[in-house]
């Protein structure tokens, strides 16, 4: 069940809200747990048992860690928990990848398992692992109530596509949280804006990308339009989903951390990755990069750690070589920045620094979005004029004109320009009353527009569900 679907917005959510706010506080977690399991079962009935099994694994192992704290048994329990979680993830997500590569390398003919990927398994596996690791490190208090831990792990606003919410972030709110009209209003506003980003911008850009892929004739302009459209689509798709998750969390009294912070305004790739998918980046930093040694020690060790982290970051996204290449591509660029490029970039105008980041990121998303290595090469050749195609053609110009407004809106929306203007107006007392008065009308109009689009269109993908 997509957040951006009629069934979720007008059937599932109102029913959950009605029951949740009607029951006493002691039953609210139970309502969330049942709702979340129902939400997951609706999208993945066969694999709901895996979600429950993962919850039981980390609940029991955390109890052992807490009881045997400071002894070898606690360490063995942690290792057991990590191995079980990664084994489940590895079996369902990577079995065919390894079988296929073994067949290719040794000319064997082992049958692929062709297992459907459990919805959100990459996200909830990292989430459950972070809980057990934090309990072992004594950085999170243990949750002895199985209902409390199950509510945290299965919480539907962030269950299938993040952000990856660590238990220590919302530990106190699991047991006791505040509900208010202000929190509800903020949550609704954030949800509707995220929904609009997804449906009105990301979906339109997705349609443009599909057009560039199936065009009758091609040109350099078409290749660049496709690459830029996808780069903007994935940002509005994923950040819109994160906005919806954060908004829903706030309605239920949870304060999830931000997952995106206008990454396309970055002046270096290092900065870009501090602003993009923040919850995943901090997860790898805290649970892999720093334990490996981080930037301590020699440059060789430092670069080794970056290589490992970015190899696994790419592999986390998907069981295909293009994701590994994509991860290593950014890992190498980050090494180069730390070794040489940062000093050079700081001497350049900010506009050049921004263009450098945008160029690197767009090329990166070409790698990310094409599972076939031949297609990656063909696309890059087309973008850089290495194919026998014109710079532009009539079809490309037509679609550029047709989608010019949505591209412009997307470019502006990917920067904090509008946000800063609103804050400036409120700070200088020039528009606060006007903004407060118009906001409900604006949000209702957005919701009606989104609804009309969803009723009329069948094109409503969500890119990160495949991860």
Phi, psi of 167 (to 5 degrees): -60, -40
> Which among 346, 334, 339 has a CA at the least distance from the CA of 298?
339
For the range 437-442, what are the long-range contacts, defined as Cβ-Cβ under 8 Å and sequence gap of 24 or more?
A: 439/189
**Whole-number Å distance between alpha carbons of 64 and 77:** 7
Q: How far apart are CA 373 and CA 132, in angstroms?
A: 38
Quote the distance between the C-alpha of residue 47 and its chain's center.
21
Q: Are 48 and 154 contacting, i.e. CB atoms less than 8 angstroms apart? A: no
> What b/e string do you get for 212-229 counting C-beta neighbours within 10 Å, with b at 16 or more?
beebeebbbbbbbbbbbb
In angstroms, the CA 9 to CA 455 distance is: 12
Residue 317 annotated as catalytic: yes
Element (H, E) at 28: helix 28-43
Q: Residue 83: how many CB atoms within 10 A of its CB?
A: 11
Element at 199 (helix H, strand E):
none
Cβ within 8 Å of residue 148, ≥6 positions away: 29, 174, 175
Neighbours of 93 (CB within 10 A): 20
Q: How far, in Å, CA of 466 to CA of 46, rounded?
A: 17
Among the options 61, 255, 317, 423, which is catalytic? 317
| Structure tokens belonging to residue 112 | 């692929």
Spatial contact of 86 and 316, defined as CB atoms under 8 Å apart? no
Name 406's Cβ contacts closer than 8 Å, sequence gap at least 6: 201, 204, 205, 208
What would the two tokens of residue 160 be? 């299938």
Render the burial of 156-173: b for 16+ CB within 10 Å, e for the rest.
Answer: bbbbbbbbbbbbebbbeb
Could you give the residue ranges of the DSSP H alpha helices within 391-464?
394-402, 404-413, 417-427, 432-456
Cα 222 from Cα 400, distance rounded (Å): 9
CB 187, CB 248: distance < 8 Å: yes
Report d(CA 103, CA 129) in Å as an integer.
32
- For residue 14, how many other CB atoms are within 10 A of its CB? 10
The catalytic residues are: 317
């Amino acid at each position: 069940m997509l957040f951006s679907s009629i069934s979720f917005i007008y059937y599932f959510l109102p029913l959950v809200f009605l029951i949740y706010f009607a029951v006493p506080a002691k039953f609210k977690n139970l309502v969330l747990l049942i709702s979340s399991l129902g939400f997951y079962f609706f999208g993945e009935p066969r694999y709901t048992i895996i979600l429950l099994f993962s919850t039981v694994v980390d609940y029991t192992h955390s109890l052992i860690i807490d009881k045997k704290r400071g002894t070898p048994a606690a360490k063995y329990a942690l290792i057991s928990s990590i191995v079980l979680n990664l084994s489940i993830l590895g079996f369902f997500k990577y079995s065919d990848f390894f079988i296929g590569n073994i067949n290719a390398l040794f000319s064997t003919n082992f049958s692929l398992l062709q297992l459907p990927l459990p919805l959100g398994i990459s996200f909830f596996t990292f989430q459950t692992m972070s809980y057990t690791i934090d309990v072992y490190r004594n950085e999170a208090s243990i949750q002895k109530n199985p209902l409390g831990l199950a509510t945290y792990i299965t919480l539907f606003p962030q269950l299938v596509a993040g952000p990856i919410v660590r238990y220590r972030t919302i530990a106190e709110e699991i047991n006791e949280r505040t509900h208010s009209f202000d929190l509800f209003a903020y949550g609704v506003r954030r949800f509707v804006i995220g929904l609009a980003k997804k449906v009105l911008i990301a979906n339109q850009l997705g349609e443009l990308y599909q057009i560039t892929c199936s065009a009758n004739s091609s040109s350099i302009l078409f290749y660049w339009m496709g690459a830029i459209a996808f780069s903007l689509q994935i940002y509005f798709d994923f950040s819109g989903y994160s906005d919806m998750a954060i908004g829903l969390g706030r309605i239920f009294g949870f304060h999830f951390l931000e997952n995106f912070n206008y990454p396309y305004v970055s002046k270096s790739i290092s900065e870009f990755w501090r602003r993009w998918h923040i919850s995943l980046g901090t997860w790898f930093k805290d649970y892999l990069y720093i334990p490996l040694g981080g930037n301590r020690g020699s440059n060789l060790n430092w670069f080794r750690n970056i290589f490992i982290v970015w190899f696994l970051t790419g592999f986390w996204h998907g069981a295909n070589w293009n994701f590994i290449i994509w991860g290593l591509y950014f890992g190498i660029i980050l090494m180069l920045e730390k070794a040489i490029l940062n000093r050079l970039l700081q001497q350049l105008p900010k506009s050049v620094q921004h263009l450098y980041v945008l160029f690197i990121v767009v090329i990166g998303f070409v790698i990310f979005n094409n599972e076939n290595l031949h297609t990656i090469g063909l696309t890059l050749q087309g973008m850089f004029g290495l194919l026998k195609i014109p710079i532009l053609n009539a079809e490309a110009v037509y679609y550029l004109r047709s989608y010019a407004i949505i591209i412009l809106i997307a470019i502006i929306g990917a920067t904090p320009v509008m946000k800063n203007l609103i804050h400036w107006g409120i700070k200088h007392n020039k528009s606060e009353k006007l903004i407060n008065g118009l906001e409900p009308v604006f949000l209702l109009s957005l919701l009606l527009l989104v609804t009309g689009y969803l009723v009329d269109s069948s094109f409503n993908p969500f890119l990160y569900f495949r991860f």
